[in-house]
Structure 1
Amino acid sequence: MIMEATAIQSVEKNITMVALANVQPSNYNPRKNFDEASLAELSESIRQQGVLQPIGVRPIEDNRFEIVFGERRYRASLMAGLEDIPAVVMEISDEVAEEMAVTENLQRKDVTPIEEANAYQKLIDSGRHDVQSLAVQFGKNESYIRTRLKFVSLMPEIAQLLEQDEITISVASEICRYGEDIQKEVYNKHLKEGVQYNSWRGMKASDVARNIERQYTTDLERYAFDKTLCLSCPHNTNNMMLFCEGGCGNCANRTCLAEMNAAYLTEKAVRLMEERPEVSLCYESFNSNEAVVERLTAMGYEVESLNYYAKAYPEQPEAPRKDEYDTTEEYEQAQSEFEQDLNDYTEECEEIRTRSEAGEIILYFRIESKDIVLCYVPKVTCTTNDTKQEQTLSPVEKLEKQDKRNKEIALEKTVEDTKKQILEVDMSDCKFGQDEDKMIYFFLLSSLRKEHFEAVGIEEKKPYSYLTDEEKINIIANLTSKQKAIIRRDFLIANFKNAYGNNAIASLLLDFAQKHMPDLLADIKNGHNEVYEKRHQRIEEKKAVLLVQEQAKQEAEQSDKQQSEVGMQTEEQPQEEDIAA
């Protein structure tokens, strides 16, 4: 690095003129926006005085040069109409060129926060810098560098607002703490152009921070999973904000929160089922966790959907703590109430156990959005046949039913995965087999008309009933040529319903009819053509009348015009005689 810097210094002493046509900008420049008015002023200055400070370039392919620094002077020179520009030609590597471009642009006074953020990020990505070295090189404190680096995570629309001074650096600093999903909601609902109600433009940074925490984060106290990792998580608002109210904090990473909650609930459900295999799993549509239900189902557990009210199992009362009371009398009173509550709890639990053993109620572990709780349902509240049958099953029969369902799940998953993978298989070189031919007829049978059921071996069928899949399988097992023709033609007829006007299907329909019912088609055509001819004749007669009227009108207008011209000539003759006199 020292040798390269020494070489650069020695080369910089030699300034040469380079044709602007051979110079091109680089991708290293963090500056993406150039003020047109300022550029025009610089162009006029260059037109009068020339380029006072050379640009830095390096040679690339085809005898061309790439700008290392000085792109603004290069653009202004093009506007001024110059053909050449003074330049320092440097033989440097990509890494050095990028660092020089970024460093030179960061020293400008008009660098924007987003340009500054991207520049710092590029230098860190190069592997030759960290936050500490950047702070030393550019004379900034580490906190300043870290704040700017966070702007890289801003979504483009919010970054543009910062570039245009529509929001302050402090507001942007609060927003960039959050993920893209929250940023999108904040932008669309509160910062987007045209938002009138509840706009956050012009709001203080502290107010924006509180609003985001209140509206777009979730209080971790509401969740039961272990929050040890959350204490040091950067997405915990306790670690993000200067203004926090203690507690566990709020989570700003919705994806992570949902995954941790789902993992905890799934693990808890498995543990509970191992402890009490006689209790079933269930969920209610208005308060459930779909991810947990799906995971448990995939693991082979049967999870029932309850369409009726399930009463929660009683909660064990908590014993009072002596240090929480001011006097001994207050503590003894609380202890007495606790003992009464505990006695009631024990009696209620015993009653539930007795009723469960007697078959009067069914116990469930209910999967809720944030917890899994024990509940029970009286048998008399059950309404569906499936649930009534379930109530009569013994624990062993329930396990056998669950095993059967697990096998069904395995088949369902196999079918779903096959449906996806079969789209990726190349079958273009495979010969179409007889088994595939039968499969085609299975689907074609959906269009078979009821009057042809008997032709394919289905005799006793209700007028409004359709072929079942089992019947279709039996039909395609031994199809004759005549039966195939009937099935194919019924399929064509079913699709001719989409024929209209002069579309392609209509053309195919008429060709099909010409082959199978030429005389009837001719009668149909003649009937409609006869009506058309009569209508056509009436239209022609009306057109002839209109043409005669139009011609008469034109002749009348021509006659009026001629009379008008004659009248004008007659008026002009006496005037000429008066002039002559």
Structure 2
Amino acid sequence: MSEKRNKPRGLGRGLSALMADVNSEPVSTEVQAARNAEVLVPIEKVIANPDQPRRQFLQEDLDDLTASIKEKGVLQPLIVRPRDGDMYEIVAGERRWRAAQAAQLHEVPVLIRDYSDVEMMEVAIIENIQRSDLNAMEEAQSYKQLMERFGHTQERMAEALGKSRSHIANLVRLLHLPEDVRALVNDRKLSAGHARALITSDNASELASKIVKGGLSVRATEALVKKDAAGLQASAAPRRSPRSTDKDADTKALEGDLSAILRMKVSIDHKAGGESGSVTISYETLDQLDEICNILSK
């Protein structure tokens, strides 16, 4: 069984079946009867998924769900897969499981699926994205896991998950922000729009603090980033040549695409009126440096 579970599988193959699990929609009369055969299992035999895309569970939401479960029980079964012994690992429904524990239930309804590692991650991402349960950083980290662990491209993920490639690329770029800025997004003090505006800033942490304190809108944040960049450029190079103006939209878009592909910050300096320039790739760890070397040596 373990050999089958770890066998690579292209993203999107059989995705309609995975979507049916998440949505509890019938596929056909016979298939529905087989797939919807939920069973009750002891709650202590259910364990969490260590790769769960959702990292934060708001206590207020859990309290509301716990109260509902105490009154009506678990209305939608958890999706699980068999693990060693007679244990089951959660594929989707960890919040229901946590609330059921708080409600002191002894059993929970489950749908048992023999998912591979890739399918398990897909279902977890699909469920959370469909229910808007992931914040921008959690969603971005989920896409990064699918790319790094299973070799999926942004194009294939976009097609399979019903998202645009630019949506996925823009989210993955958020992972290049400083840790303190990412924490503000995780805590929902900054939106994805605020975070995207800060990606190109060399002063993201200080600006993020101003945005939170001032309650700035995304548009005001974009204006603040431009103003800060202009101030930094003026102080660093007061006698800049005329060609050192702001980069055009095409250059910025190309920088964004390359940054998303390499998962590192890429800067393009093209000499105005000419055909030459330079490309700068910034790495944060030696592992990223090794990755650059491997790419260039192929």
2:186 to 163, 170, 177: 163
Post-superposition Cα deviations, 1:174-201, rounded to whole Å, max 9, x if no partner, equal 22235xxx3xx431x4434xx79xx776
Q: Residues 113 and 148 of structure 1 are in contact (CA less than 8 Å); yes or no, is this contact kept in structure 2?
A: yes
Q: For residues 96-495 of structure 1, what are the structure 2 equivalents within 5 Å?
A: 96-127=119-150, 129-177=152-200, 182=202, 185-187=203-205, 189-192=206-209, 202=216, 204-216=220-232, 234=255, 235-236=266-267
In structure 2, runs of 5+ residues without a counterpart are 1-8, 22-26, 242-250, 256-265, 284-298
C-alpha displacement of 1:5: 7.9
* In 2, Cα distance between equivalents of 1:4 and 1:221: 54
Amino acid at match of 2:114: E
Q: Residues 54 and 133 of structure 2 are in contact (CA less than 8 Å); yes or no, is this contact kept in structure 1?
A: no
Q: Against the structure 1 CA distance between its residues 130 and 54, is the aligned structure 2 distance closer, same or farther, given a 3 Å change threshold?
A: same
* In 2, Cα distance between equivalents of 1:35 and 1:18: 26
Q: Against the structure 1 CA distance between its residues 142 and 212, is the aligned structure 2 distance closer, same or farther, given a 3 Å change threshold?
A: farther
Post-superposition Cα deviations, 1:182-239, rounded to whole Å, max 9, x if no partner, equal 3xx431x4434xx79xx776261332331343345666966xxxxxxxx797244789
* In 2, Cα distance between equivalents of 1:79 and 1:143: 40
Amino acid at match of 1:35: L
C-alpha displacement of 1:173: 0.7
Q: Residues 118 and 152 of structure 1 are in contact (CA less than 8 Å); yes or no, is this contact kept in structure 2?
A: yes
Q: Against the structure 1 CA distance between its residues 128 and 85, is the aligned structure 2 distance closer, same or farther, given a 3 Å change threshold?
A: same
1:92 to 99, 115, 128: 115
Q: Against the structure 1 CA distance between its residues 71 and 251, is the aligned structure 2 distance closer, same or farther, given a 3 Å change threshold?
A: farther
Q: Residues 30 and 118 of structure 1 are in contact (CA less than 8 Å); yes or no, is this contact kept in structure 2?
A: yes
Amino acid at match of 1:82: L
* In 2, Cα distance between equivalents of 1:4 and 1:168: 29
User: Secondary structure, in 3 states, of the residue corresponding to 1:67?
Assistant: strand
Post-superposition Cα deviations, 1:527-554, rounded to whole Å, max 9, x if no partner, equal xxxxxxxxxxxxxxxxxxxxxxxxxxxx
Q: Against the structure 1 CA distance between its residues 74 and 23, is the aligned structure 2 distance closer, same or farther, given a 3 Å change threshold?
A: same
Output the aligned Cα RMSD: 3.8
Indicate the residue corresponding to 1:18 in structure 2: 41
- The structure with the largest helix share of the pair is 1
Q: For residues 525-564 of structure 1, what are the structure 2 equivalents within 5 Å?
A: none
Indicate the residue corresponding to 1:499 in structure 2: none
Q: Against the structure 1 CA distance between its residues 37 and 164, is the aligned structure 2 distance closer, same or farther, given a 3 Å change threshold?
A: same
Amino acid at match of 1:202: L
Q: Against the structure 1 CA distance between its residues 59 and 214, is the aligned structure 2 distance closer, same or farther, given a 3 Å change threshold?
A: same
> Would you say how many aligned residue pairs link Structure 1 and Structure 2?
231
User: Secondary structure, in 3 states, of the residue corresponding to 1:63?
Assistant: coil
C-alpha displacement of 1:121: 1.9
Asked if 1:71 corresponds to 2:94, the answer is: yes
Q: Against the structure 1 CA distance between its residues 130 and 25, is the aligned structure 2 distance closer, same or farther, given a 3 Å change threshold?
A: same
Structure number with greater Rg is 1
Indicate the residue corresponding to 1:48 in structure 2: 71
Indicate the residue corresponding to 1:514 in structure 2: none
Indicate the residue corresponding to 1:568 in structure 2: none
Amino acid at match of 1:39: L
Q: Against the structure 1 CA distance between its residues 33 and 134, is the aligned structure 2 distance closer, same or farther, given a 3 Å change threshold?
A: same
Q: Against the structure 1 CA distance between its residues 106 and 221, is the aligned structure 2 distance closer, same or farther, given a 3 Å change threshold?
A: same
Q: Against the structure 1 CA distance between its residues 157 and 3, is the aligned structure 2 distance closer, same or farther, given a 3 Å change threshold?
A: closer
C-alpha displacement of 1:129: 3.3
Q: Residues 167 and 201 of structure 1 are in contact (CA less than 8 Å); yes or no, is this contact kept in structure 2?
A: no
Post-superposition Cα deviations, 1:444-491, rounded to whole Å, max 9, x if no partner, equal xxxxxxxxxxxxxxxxxxxxxxxxxxxxxxxxxxxxxxxxxxxxxxxx
Q: Against the structure 1 CA distance between its residues 50 and 61, is the aligned structure 2 distance closer, same or farther, given a 3 Å change threshold?
A: same
C-alpha displacement of 1:16: 0.9
Q: Which has the higher contact order (CA 8 A, sep 6+)?
A: 2
Q: Residues 167 and 202 of structure 1 are in contact (CA less than 8 Å); yes or no, is this contact kept in structure 2?
A: no
Post-superposition Cα deviations, 1:321-375, rounded to whole Å, max 9, x if no partner, equal xxxxxxxxxxxxxxxxxxxxxxxxxxxxxxxxxxxxxxxxxxxxxxxxxxxxxxx
Q: Against the structure 1 CA distance between its residues 41 and 247, is the aligned structure 2 distance closer, same or farther, given a 3 Å change threshold?
A: farther
Q: Against the structure 1 CA distance between its residues 176 and 167, is the aligned structure 2 distance closer, same or farther, given a 3 Å change threshold?
A: same
Q: Residues 46 and 87 of structure 2 are in contact (CA less than 8 Å); yes or no, is this contact kept in structure 1?
A: yes
Q: Against the structure 1 CA distance between its residues 99 and 49, is the aligned structure 2 distance closer, same or farther, given a 3 Å change threshold?
A: same
Q: Against the structure 1 CA distance between its residues 45 and 165, is the aligned structure 2 distance closer, same or farther, given a 3 Å change threshold?
A: closer
Indicate the residue corresponding to 1:35 in structure 2: 58
In structure 1, runs of 5+ residues without a counterpart are 223-230, 240-245, 257-581
